[in-house]
Structure 1
Amino acid sequence: MENVKVGLLESFMRNHQKSLQSLFNRKRSPSPSSSSSSTSPSHKPIPQLSPLANSVVSRCSEILQVPTEELQHCFETELPESVKEPLTYARNFLEFCSYQALHLLSKRPGFLSEEFRHLTYDMMLAWEAPSVESETLDKETASCSNQEVEHEDGWSLFYSSSTTMAVQVDDKKTVGREAFARIAPVSAAVADIITIHNLFDALTSSSGHRLHFLVYDKYIRSLDKIIKAAKNAVAPAVGNLQLSEGEIVIDVDGTVPTQPVLQHIGISAWPGRLTLTNYALYFESLGVGIYDKAVRYDLATEMKQIIKPEMTGPLGARLFDKALMYKSTSVAEPVYLEFPEFKGDSRRNYWVDICLEILRAHRFIRKYNLKEIQKSEVLAKATLGIFRCHAVREGFQFFSSHYKSLLAFNLAESLPRGDAILETLSYRLELLDVGAAQHDGAGVSYAKKQSPTKQQPKLSPVSLLTLSQLGFILKKEANLDGEAVIVGDIYAGETNPLEMAVKQSLLDTGKAEAAQATIDQVKVEGIDTNVALMKELLFPVIELASRLQLLTSWEDPNKSTVFLVLTGYTILRGWISYMLPAIFLFIAILMLWRRHFNKGKPLETFKVTSPPNRNTVEQLLTLQEAITQVEALIQAGNIILLKTRALLFGVLPQATDKVALVLVFMAAALAFVPQRYIVLLVFLEAFTREMPYRKESSNRWVRRVKEWWVRIPAAPVQLTKVDDKKKKK
């Protein structure tokens, strides 16, 4: 929509400001079932909603301390008419209440609780069946909050290493992709709009692309565990690292003796501890019981950094593909960080991904010249993405090869139209204002419509506020107190520009993957088979070339004469310049003709006669022969270049004089003779070379030219070896 938004729920937010403040000030908010009837708002059922949707709205009303009828009144009076259509009324009203409640619920300390997990999952279930007409769930299982999953040791019994057992636990209550994509990103800690679809695919890889509660519950528990571990890792690491203001520790590796991190510089290797922050990578060598002073590898400043997987080994030998290479203008030679493990290279790949995420986040900041609050929001978004990636990796033992990237900036680098996603994100970041998040009674996540001429709405730095609420401080000067009300970027019944950019990118990705699948199907093995396939595909071109060769050989004088006359007349009339456009036009007409008459018909399979099968030794010999032929062609080309160099520098004066004279004659011809006559002369000379009347003289002339070329010496060449003066440590 072209119109922008300003504060929705403004009237009742002012009236219920004290209630909201008491909601934040309470140490523990009671559950809906335990709240007293004297303090709870009324929960009048909404006729348009299904029982499950009414249950969710009732709990949202309890969190907001606003009666359901007042929520409905505000929805009907303040939101635009486009989101109140009868067919979408129930779903949009459910989104309206859910988004408001989640924004406030996310302000509580430790909000990733059991109540949060059950409520958000019920929101997703209700989103799929919001109205009475769409209600298809069993009444006995209308709310997953009645499930008995309270014991910490019990939940992991069903799916300790994978999501396979989750399929057997509950087949009835599952959540689809769209419901997950509309509810989960409201909490910046749980999901991100850019990576939400990849996260859903990772969580549902073994459950038929339907999300079970046990899987979702385990994911949130794992995420909460990772965040708490990151906060606990800050205290022992900060003292030795001397972090700057706003720099936080994201992940640490190498603290377990059985899983060390080895730093290779030259031929030396030393174990130590590796720490990633939102600005740099630190390595602390392990001394005698203590860690030495940390070496800092900057990721924030533009220094042409390169981070990629690399092979390494003892004494510089390239044996094990388990290392990360860091290279920049700040280091004299590349630094290799090895992650020894027996299970594979997943540990190394994880560190490559998270280091690249921070590096690309800072490149994004520099590209769009982001300052202050926008910069902190980008770093917070990257940090939360790494936490989510770590949670999926640890909770479900998924490796990077099993799912697409869960890191927003890494994903944007590889997706089609990824640059459009980042450009849209930069536009949304321009609307950020920490002042818009202050609880002044006018700023919440929905807004009234304004004319396009008025000022754009200010959004809250949601990721930064979330990270601050979780106990991480990226920007001390920002007023991020507990009274802030988040102004979100997701609106009921609407799709924001970032979601649209992601959906367009996913559409292009699907087309690219479908095309790649066809490529994988037609790939054939063996040199002979590929050559045979290429010959069949190029058959029209080969056939045309053979017919032209037949005409130039003058085996059939009549056909050759007719072709010579017609082509010569075309050149003289100047029609030769229209030949290439005519060919393109003919091909275009042929393609449209085929498209019209073959509409809906599958393309016929291209049949190729495969050559006789050869064993591995014969294929290697064929490959060696092909390489020898290519080498001979390269040698012949080098000889031509060296002889040309000799002519240019006058090594053979007589030959140089003749070549210079020919060049002067050609220059004069090109300058004064019309182009069509030159083309005609070249064509006549080439086409009539095999003509019976001039075949003998032509062969004699070619022979003399070859003899002359043989007598020209090649320019001298001297091969020198590179003097490697690198100091080996």
Structure 2
Amino acid sequence: MDTIGSPVSASSIKKDSLTFLKSLFNSTEDDVVDSQAAPLPFLSPLANSVISSCSKILQKPTEELQHCFDTEHPNIMKESLVYARSFLEFCSYQALNLMTRRPDYLADKNFRRLTFDMMLAWDGPSAENELNIVDEDKTVGLEAFARIAPACTVIADVITVHNLFDVLTMSSGHKLHFLIYDKYLRSLEKVIKSAANVNTSSSASNLQLAEGEIILEIDGTVPTQPIFQHIGISGWPGRLTLTNNAMYFESMGVGLYDKAVKFELAADMKQVIKPDLTGPLGARLYDKAVMYKSTSITEPVYFEFTEFKGSSRRDYWLDISLEILYAHKFIRMYNLKKFQQLEALARAALGILRYRAVKEAFQNFPSNYKTLLCFNLAESLPGGYTILQALSSRLSLLDDSSSQHDSVRSPRANRQLRQPISYLTLCRHKIVSIDEVGMDKEEMQQIGDVCVGEINPLEMAVKQSKQDIGRAEAAQATVDQVKVEGIDTNIAIMQELLFPLIESFNHLQRLASWEEPSKSTVFLVLVTYVILGGWMKYVLPSIFIFVAIMMGCNRFANYGKPLEAFNITAPPYRNAVEQLLALQEAISELEALIQAGNIFLLKIRALLFAALPQATDRIAILLVILAVVFAFVPVQYLILLAFYEAYTREMPLRKDSSDQVLRRMREWWYNIPAAPVQLIKPDDKKTK
């Protein structure tokens, strides 16, 4: 599988920057000669224009590019739409690989225009497509965007490229206009420059970051929009910083920030990050907070993102924090090595930068299924684990030894060299330093996730997972539809759903009450035969088989028919006050039940520690007898004995004796004292 064409020759890589810039968009004498070359007959006018631009950038004539393509992809038939698109991808990927070596290529409008033209040409590549040179009214479709954009790693990720297209075309009928695309890239360029500046400013040094740790986002620096940290009933303002390893909170002092408190995201500390309510003095009033909890802190920490309307600020921080947490979880799950870890974290970092660019340019916050963050998407999609497996296979191609220059390495081996493309992208934009991993700048080849003329396994995994979204959303819609309000109504629904089980239990109770001696006797004989005959092991499998047969019959009888609604008799209407009273009564009953459970456990504790010696002696002797019985008596006889004792308790012959025994046991249990309990109030040291 060839990925993004073949690498450019070493001579063209080592051109000085002045010659490179001239060869990119400025015409030279060679370019004029090349532009006068005959267009390829199987390509549309727009595709020929794009191929001509790629030829100038690569400093190769179009005939040589076509010869290289035919040599590397001999199985693609000529005179076909697939051939034209594959050849266009081949030239475009190589040109993008060379153009993206400049750190400021996103700021160049010619670059933005050419990449958009590549997408337009992909939509109509063959000569049958009568496309003229691009104008502002031309729009790009989803497949063209998904084939070209991920070739430039900073613009799109192959995992989230479809979601990015949906976000950009939300207001344009699922068609991408150049003005929107241009606005997105300009916003992305500003965000990347800001990230590069932050990581070289004093903010990074104040946090004492570890080697390779980079700042991805900072919030709370504006005095009118601080971030409040709440621990218990205490809260104070400050600023919050997210890196690729942790979150840092610096509380605001007098003119300066206090020492940063680190909240780990990289190590496995059972971290939990979720949205939550917060407010002054611990009151749960405003849904604008992110809760962080881990084994390294004694109680949860809440970060409140103050905002007059909505909770978009909180939602943004929740998403990007979870992205880093999920990235490290992915690293631990697949036991990634050094370069693989760098690539996984760099992929998450680029996703956060794209998310930030979209937020600042369009004020758009996609849903879970439409997120621009790849690890968040894998967590939210049904079957998202297949994406993670495909990504781990992709990262397994990376080799830590690829950073070392080997003079004896063959040209073929150099072509197959795999490097962390997302990390190299951060290096080229000066967000991280290439010197930290010891790579040779001359050896950097940006080989992306898209393949010429075919879909790679990572793309296939994403498409397969997205096919299940419709079923998941339809299932969730049915769940939302059957949610009802009111305790009485929910209890009524549960009773109707559990009616078969409740009715079966009631029938067993009637048999055990011996109201109809003949039926009770028949049931007693039947159970005795089942237990003594060794049929108990077949009871549960028989139930499973019966249910499976019933489901199969319903499957064929109701095939193609919609499921009929389950009729529930609604309880009498209750107003809000009556529902609150019912809730209070239910809570009181639950409290009484918990109290009874605590008393039972405390009495057991008293027996274990011999608070009442005579009762403890009796229990100890009884336990010894039970141990002997369980050791020497077959299990089936013990089961039969337990069934007889419970089933014949209401039998006329032993009802009086059973009542007397139960009464004596209750009186004995009543005389057992409960172990004492002392409540100790914790010291309140939570004020700053």
User: What is the TM-score of this pair, normalised by structure 1?
Assistant: 0.80
Per-residue deviation, 1:100: 1.8
Corresponding residue to 1:407 among 368, 373, 376: 373
2-structure distance, mates of 1:229, 1:540: 64
Corresponding residue to 2:181 among 198, 205, 216: 216
Alignment of 1:449-488 (within 5 A): 457-476=416-435, 478-479=438-439, 481=441, 484-488=444-448
- What residue is the counterpart of 1:613 in the other structure? 573
Q: Secondary structure at the match of 2:262?
A: strand
Alignment of 1:368-447 (within 5 A): 370=336, 373-399=339-365, 404-432=370-398
Q: Any conservation in 2 of the 1:311–1:321 contact (CA below 8 Å)?
A: yes
1-structure distance, mates of 2:221, 2:618: 77
Q: Any conservation in 2 of the 1:309–1:322 contact (CA below 8 Å)?
A: yes
Q: Secondary structure at the match of 1:602?
A: coil
1-structure distance, mates of 2:408, 2:387: 30
- What residue is the counterpart of 1:108 in the other structure? 102
- What residue is the counterpart of 1:229 in the other structure? 194
Q: Secondary structure at the match of 2:32?
A: coil
Task: Tell me whether 559-568 or 274-283 shows the greater mean CA deviation.
Answer: 274-283
Q: Any conservation in 2 of the 1:689–1:695 contact (CA below 8 Å)?
A: yes
Q: Could you say if the C-alpha distance between residues 66 and 93 of structure 1 is closer, same or farther in structure 2, counting changes exceeding 3 Å?
A: same
Per-residue deviation, 1:263: 6.1
- What residue is the counterpart of 2:88 in the other structure? 94
2-structure distance, mates of 1:558, 1:316: 64
- What residue is the counterpart of 1:180 in the other structure? 145
2-structure distance, mates of 1:363, 1:93: 39
2:517 is the counterpart of 1:551 = no
Q: Any conservation in 2 of the 1:94–1:130 contact (CA below 8 Å)?
A: yes
Q: How big is each residue's C-alpha offset from its partner over 1:492-551, in whole Å with a ceiling of 9 and x where there is no partner?
A: 122323323333433445443332222111111111111111111112112222222232
Per-residue deviation, 1:598: 2.6
Query: Residue type of the partner of 1:259?
Result: Q
Q: Secondary structure at the match of 1:487?
A: coil
2:637 is the counterpart of 1:677 = yes
Query: Residue type of the partner of 1:73?
Result: H
Q: Any conservation in 2 of the 1:281–1:297 contact (CA below 8 Å)?
A: yes
- What residue is the counterpart of 1:126 in the other structure? 121
Corresponding residue to 2:561 among 576, 601, 610: 601
Query: Residue type of the partner of 2:394?
Result: R
Corresponding residue to 1:640 among 600, 605, 616: 600
Q: Secondary structure at the match of 1:88?
A: helix
Q: Could you say if the C-alpha distance between residues 104 and 434 of structure 1 is closer, same or farther in structure 2, counting changes exceeding 3 Å?
A: farther
If asked which structure has higher relative contact order (CA below 8 Å, sep 6+), I would say: 1
Q: Could you say if the C-alpha distance between residues 337 and 609 of structure 1 is closer, same or farther in structure 2, counting changes exceeding 3 Å?
A: closer
2:553 is the counterpart of 1:588 = no
2:566 is the counterpart of 1:625 = no
Per-residue deviation, 1:368: 5.3
Query: Residue type of the partner of 1:633?
Result: L
Task: Tell me whether 645-654 or 543-552 shows the greater mean CA deviation.
Answer: 645-654
Per-residue deviation, 1:235: 5.3
Q: Any conservation in 1 of the 2:230–2:236 contact (CA below 8 Å)?
A: yes
Query: Residue type of the partner of 1:724?
Result: D
Q: How big is each residue's C-alpha offset from its partner over 1:43-81, in whole Å with a ceiling of 9 and x where there is no partner?
A: 544444444444433333333233333333322221252
Alignment of 1:182-581 (within 5 A): 182-234=147-199, 236-237=201-202, 241=206, 246-261=212-227, 275-278=241-244, 291=256, 295=260, 297=262, 299=264, 302=267, 304=269, 322=288, 339-358=305-324, 360-361=326-327, 364-365=330-331, 370=336, 373-399=339-365, 404-432=370-398, 457-476=416-435, 478-479=438-439, 481=441, 484-581=444-541
Q: Any conservation in 2 of the 1:349–1:400 contact (CA below 8 Å)?
A: no
Q: Secondary structure at the match of 1:342?
A: coil
Q: How big is each residue's C-alpha offset from its partner over 1:586-638, in whole Å with a ceiling of 9 and x where there is no partner?
A: 11122223223333222222221211221111111111122222222222222
Per-residue deviation, 1:657: 4.5
Query: Residue type of the partner of 1:460?
Result: Q
Query: Residue type of the partner of 1:214?
Result: L
Q: Any conservation in 1 of the 2:368–2:376 contact (CA below 8 Å)?
A: no
2:674 is the counterpart of 1:715 = yes
Query: Residue type of the partner of 1:354?
Result: I
Per-residue deviation, 1:325: 6.1
Q: Could you say if the C-alpha distance between residues 617 and 500 of structure 1 is closer, same or farther in structure 2, counting changes exceeding 3 Å?
A: same
- What residue is the counterpart of 1:160 in the other structure? none
Task: Tell me whether 104-113 or 574-583 shows the greater mean CA deviation.
Answer: 104-113
Alignment of 1:44-193 (within 5 A): 44-79=38-73, 81=75, 86=80, 88-112=82-106, 113-131=108-126, 135=129, 139=130, 142-143=132-133, 145-147=134-136, 173-176=139-142, 178-193=143-158
Per-residue deviation, 1:581: 0.8
Q: Any conservation in 1 of the 2:250–2:261 contact (CA below 8 Å)?
A: no
2-structure distance, mates of 1:424, 1:384: 19
Q: Any conservation in 2 of the 1:43–1:58 contact (CA below 8 Å)?
A: no
Q: Secondary structure at the match of 2:267?
A: coil
Q: Any conservation in 2 of the 1:646–1:715 contact (CA below 8 Å)?
A: yes
Task: Tell me whether 208-217 or 397-406 shows the greater mean CA deviation.
Answer: 397-406
2-structure distance, mates of 1:681, 1:245: 69
Q: How many residues align?
A: 684
Corresponding residue to 1:27 among 8, 21, 45: 21
1-structure distance, mates of 2:98, 2:375: 28
Query: Residue type of the partner of 2:117?
Result: D
CA RMSD of aligned residues (A): 4.2
Per-residue deviation, 1:662: 4.0
2-structure distance, mates of 1:646, 1:410: 51
Per-residue deviation, 1:390: 0.9
Q: Secondary structure at the match of 1:471?
A: coil
Q: Any conservation in 2 of the 1:246–1:476 contact (CA below 8 Å)?
A: no
Per-residue deviation, 1:394: 0.4
2-structure distance, mates of 1:437, 1:332: 42
Per-residue deviation, 1:225: 1.9
2-structure distance, mates of 1:271, 1:387: 26
2-structure distance, mates of 1:349, 1:211: 26
Q: Any conservation in 2 of the 1:223–1:391 contact (CA below 8 Å)?
A: yes
- What residue is the counterpart of 1:164 in the other structure? none
1-structure distance, mates of 2:13, 2:337: 36
Q: How big is each residue's C-alpha offset from its partner over 1:76-122, in whole Å with a ceiling of 9 and x where there is no partner?
A: 22125268795633332332222222212222342223223233233
2-structure distance, mates of 1:511, 1:570: 44
Q: Any conservation in 2 of the 1:639–1:714 contact (CA below 8 Å)?
A: no
Q: Any conservation in 2 of the 1:306–1:327 contact (CA below 8 Å)?
A: yes
User: What is the TM-score of this pair, normalised by structure 2?
Assistant: 0.85
2-structure distance, mates of 1:252, 1:655: 66
2-structure distance, mates of 1:438, 1:70: 32
Q: Any conservation in 1 of the 2:195–2:431 contact (CA below 8 Å)?
A: no
1-structure distance, mates of 2:663, 2:462: 66
Q: How big is each residue's C-alpha offset from its partner over 1:30-53, in whole Å with a ceiling of 9 and x where there is no partner?
A: 649998753426654444444444
Identical counterparts, % of pairs: 57
Per-residue deviation, 1:393: 0.7
